[in-house]
Amino acid sequence: MSSTEVEESGGLVERAKADRAAKRNWFSRIVLFIQQVIAELKKVVTPTRKELINFTLVVIAFVLIMMALVWLLDQAFGFVTVFLFGTTLG
């Protein structure tokens, strides 16, 4: 983050504090909010294609692992239920 970005966002924060103290009208508060949203959106960095593919693969792997864990727990609880009560539902 460059120093100008820090100054811009810092300036907006100072302006927000001053506006809060001054109790400006609703229109100026809306304008300030939109300016702050735009300043935050300028900080967003989009991932490269390689990073996006990597993130996607990580999410898919995590989901598959969680699916396997839930399936194993379902099978274990089903076995325990049949063991305790002796009948199956189905």
Q: What confidence tens digit (pLDDT) does each residue in 20-57 have?
A: 666 678 888 888 899 999 999 999 999 999 999 999 99
CA dihedral 64, 68, 69, 74 (to 10 degrees): 140
Average pLDDT for residues 57-77, to the nearest whole number?
98
User: Measured between alpha carbons, how far is 87 from 90 in angstroms, rounded to an integer?
Assistant: 9
Residues 85 and 52 in one domain: yes
Residue 81 has pLDDT above 80, yes or no: yes
Residue 89 has pLDDT above 80, yes or no: no
Q: What total number of domains does the chain contain?
A: 2
Residues 39 and 8 in one domain: yes
What was the pLDDT predicted at 47? 94
On whether the pTM is more than 0.75, the answer is: no
Q: Which residue has the higher pLDDT, 88 or 12?
A: 12
Residues 33 and 52 in one domain: no
| Contacting residues for 39 by C-beta, under 8 A, at least 6 apart | 8, 9, 12
Residues 40 and 52 in one domain: no
| Longest CA span, the chain | 73
Q: Which domain holds residue 73?
A: 47-90
Average pLDDT score over the chain: 84
What was the pLDDT predicted at 50? 97
Residues 59 and 22 in one domain: no
Centroid of chain to Cα 17: 27
